[in-house]
Chains A and B, each alone.
Chain A
Amino acid sequence: MCTNLTLTTSISGSGLGREGWFAVDQAVVYFDHPQDAPLAHALCLDVRGPSSVSDPAERVAVELDVRSARRLAETILATLDHREVRTVVGSSSAEGA
């Protein structure tokens, strides 16, 4: 199957692209046929920024199998929930918490 299901969320930070770092402001998440991963379907993530509009290659992209995608999501959350991170984020409002 192919899906039109696409979820987007606004983000803030930097991504490392073809020509170096660039500002990012949007994450696009979908589950569909990948471009390259040897899978029928993949969890696809595109991290984009204002410069992605003028240069479509300016993006950070990954295509993951379902288990990997879940592990990655859980690992991100586990990192953010770690005591040391909570301490750092709790002591500064500049971390975007």
Chain B
Amino acid sequence: MPIRRGIGNFAGNLNLPRVVVNNLLQFRIGKALKHTGRFVINTTLGMGGLLDPATPMGVEEDRTNFGETLYVWGVKEGNFMELPLLGPSTDRATVGMIVDLFTNPLVYMVPSPENTIGVFSAGLSKIGDRYEYSSTIDSILYESEDSYAQARSLYLQNRRFELGVEVTDDEVDEIDSLFEDLYGE
């Protein structure tokens, strides 16, 4: 476990320049500064990124990627898909993942072949903290009569929640008119 965490920390640290680039593309200057500080702290005090002293100092990471940048720019979600090995995704998230192979400035600042680490850090950084649904949500999937439809619904809802997408006007109308029908004068 400590080794796994070390790898996760190290790759996560190499991934931070990519996060900063995406923060800037999303016009989130405060977050870009915070993640720059995190990169400096963990690279120096954290022995090149193997340790994560920044988190207990309150400089934790808010994950982001080019998929979120596309969302901020107003790009539509597109279709849902199940990618081999990578799991559920959307058109927008998949394009974001591909673009993110090239958004890490380390790729351009470090000579070859060491710069390939910038490409791999995106995948490696997920080792330490692979996203997992809580077992409560998992059980909904296992017991489902249509687990594909359910997986699609769970992923899209959770992804929109992470992006901070507001409830749609259609849904508000649906709820309001139902309450009106049931309890209206």
Partners in one complex: no
Binding site for B on A (CB under 8 A): none
